[in-house]
Chains A and B, each alone.
Chain A
Amino acid sequence: MSAQTLAPTARPAQRGRETRRERRHRERLEEQAATIPVELYGLRRGTVTVLTTVSVLFAIFTLIPIVWIIINATKTEANIFESFGFWFASPFDFSHTFANLFRDIDGQGVYFRWFLNTVIYSLVAGVGATVLAALGGYGFARFEFRGSKLFFAFIIAGLLVPITLVAVPLYLVYAKVHLINSIWGMILPSMVSPVGLYLMRTYVTLSIPRELLDSARVDGASEVRIFFRVALPLMVPGLMTVLLLSVAGTWNNYILPLIIFSANNLYPATVGMGLWLQHAGNSGDNDLYPLLVTGGLVTVIPMIALFAVLQRYWRGGLLLGSVAN
């Protein structure tokens, strides 16, 4: 077992260009080889059991709402309220409810329209936030300029201000610059991500050695070329984190669109469904509950998918072989 595990690293001299599949395989083996087996942690058997149990319970606790929403997305309005919440009940009503997501049921708006809005806002804001975080994080991490510390302190301070606190001033400013009921009113502030910038600064500081950039400078590369050709490829795992965080942040944002949108065809899914919920509560119109449940499910699926897709970028070792220790 161990001989097989070590084989790929033990004889690098015999390898030419490896295929992507071979590389994946090698990386998995290397990861396994680098993992310390649990019995070597120096923990007692009982401790391991207790910790494992706690982790499993916590995982179940977190997954329960997801399970509930998947099951109840298949139910009729009556069954949602009357049948057991954690098992299926006939009739199986998913396709009917799903089709209703594309219709204007109660005159409040169409779910699918809101869903598309969410996708657009999140993608544009997420990509924008990632680009800004890449530029800003790299700048703050690798350049010193007049006021750089002060600027950075301001950005960090931005982390501490909750959007609810600035809701009123934000609305007043937006009214002046005509960003009320404009998609840019939603996208522009979502592109500013102090967390993302802070993450990227830390990531660059830790993962891009100064010598590498100096080397590129002596090699005659311009700063722009160094950024794109040397730094950016090494920043990818960090950027994927920022992308995920900012897409998710915009995807789940409720307060900002609530403040700035009054036209319901501009709502994202969060605000639209909030409106439905309010309407259902006020009017006693229980027809909306299956739509809320199924709409909720449809809304979380892309986030889960995005996480699964981006996960493969979170691997260490990008710098392997670059600098000697």
Chain B
Amino acid sequence: MSAITLSGLTKIYPTGVRAIDSLDLEVRDHEFVVLVGPSGCGKTTALRMVAGLEAVTNGTIRFGDRVVNDVSPRQRDVAMVFQSYALYPHLSVAENIGFALINKKVPRAERERRVRSAAELLGLSDLLNRKPDRLSGGQRQRVAMGRAIVREPSAFLMDEPLSSLDAKLRVQMRSEVLRVHHEIGAATLYVTHDQVEAMTMGDRVAVLHAGVLQQYGTPRELYQRPANLFVAGFIGSPEMNLYEASISDGDLVLGSQRIAGIVRPALTAYSGRKVIAGVRPEDLVLGADGNGTAPAALTARVRVVEMLGSEQHVFFSIDAPAAGARMLAAATGEIESGLLASEAHNGTARVGPRTPVRAGDRITLSVEPQQWHFFDPDTGLTIR
């Protein structure tokens, strides 16, 4: 059975802004679903509607089979962790965690037992008498979690709970949140703008953009079979290389280069037309100039090499126009001038740490034919 079902959920603000546009989403019992998207895409609005903090313009929210559109937040039996933690500053850790139980008139002994066990689960047992101002960032985050889990709610809502932590702590808390989720097992809807967080934490991930659901699937599906250009560009870091290209006589034409051997039934309809061709940085295999005998090899010039220790990012340029920034800008309506202006390089390859490569080198990059992604330049949809 599904714990949370959103159907046709729409939010239009009095100003006419359409924050969420007929969102369909289903969170099953025990499932950890991540709602991800760039800032301003409406993901927090969606979450607040599920919590009952925001009125629904259209559509329904169901918990189990009960429609809760008009149920007040206090009667929805969901727990929410806020981006800012929103701890009660004048109450101790124990009182913060126990606050909801007092509201529910849970008897004192039972309340203390539950507060203690929640504190134990989160490693807060020694801090129960502290006020929030005497806690570190990570401890505050745990208290916010504790306040949610102590209630044993039917569903958890989390609004960017890790975004205020520093990078290292964030990685630690990711697995911590998942550990707690697995112990408790309640359905969780988790909002973030961080695609790495989405990929690493979600059983399923919903990508939201401009209030519209782009794709809903497992992290693997999203990464390997993005539904459209937006998802392709949004998921993955470094992001997918995207070029304006065309199909001619069964070959892929990228600027002055022709790549043969890409045979796909769906592409025949695009023969002689423009497409957007995309390839992930790790699917580019680097070979020295002259050895480029593979049929699907591109020649490129290395501009910058970033050594990350475990791998290298090779920023190169080929003479095909990059579609990424421009298409994404058209798709998202936001133009990041830095991306458009980056004439110096228009692609990234991810290679091993010991591959000898330096700025200025001429290289060949070969790609397994099935690793190419193709998108319709007008609709942005994946060509399948």
Contact = CB atoms under 8 A, between A and B. Distances in A.
B103 A214 contact: no
Contacts of B140: 321, 324
A116 B96 CA distance: 44
Given A15-B134, A16-B129, A322-B132, A221 B74 contact: yes
A218 interface: yes
A214 B82 contact: yes
Interface in B129-161: 129-137, 140, 147, 151, 157
Interface in B118-136: 129-136
B106 to A, nearest CB: 11
Contacts of A321: 87, 89, 131-135, 140
Contacts of B78: 218
B104 A214 contact: no
A324 B84 contact: yes
Nearest to B134: A12
Nearest to A318: B89
A319 interface: yes
Contact of B82 (A15, A215, A220, A229): A215
Nearest to A18: B134
A82 interface: no
Interface string A242-253: 000000000000
A232 to B, nearest CB: 10
Interface residues of B, number: 39
Contact of A217 (B73, B83, B131): B73
A323 B80 CA distance: 14
Nearest to A325: B164
A209 B86 contact: yes
Contacts of A17: 129-130
A230 interface: yes
A27 to B, nearest CB: 11
Nearest to B132: A321
A323 B87 contact: yes
B99 interface: yes
B69 to A, nearest CB: 16
A222 B121 CA distance: 28
A212 B85 CA distance: 8
Contacts of A220: 74-75, 100, 103-104, 151
Interface string A287-325: 000000000000000000000000000000111111111
Contacts of A317: 133
Nearest to A232: B90
A66 to B, nearest CB: 37
A237 to B, nearest CB: 12
Among A209, A215, A317, A318, the one with the most B-chain Cβ atoms within 10 Å of its Cβ is A215
Contacts of A215: 80, 82, 86, 147
B100 to A, nearest CB: 4
B53 interface: yes
Contact of B80 (A218, A229, A322): A218
A320 B133 CA distance: 5
Contacts of A15: 130, 134
A221 B132 contact: no
A320 B91 CA distance: 12
27 contacts: A12-B136, A16-B129, A17-B129, A209-B84, A212-B88, A214-B48, A216-B99, A217-B52, A218-B53, A218-B76, A218-B80, A218-B157, A220-B100, A221-B74, A229-B88, A229-B99, A233-B90, A317-B133, A320-B133, A321-B132, A321-B133, A322-B87, A323-B84, A323-B85, A323-B87, A324-B137, A325-B164
Interface of A: 12-13, 15-17, 209, 211-212, 214-222, 225, 229-230, 233-234, 317-325
Interface of B: 48, 51-53, 72-76, 78-80, 82-90, 99-100, 103-104, 129-137, 140, 147, 151, 157, 164
The 4 A-B residue pairs with the shortest CB-CB distance in the complex, in nearest-first order = A321-B132, A321-B133, A324-B164, A320-B133
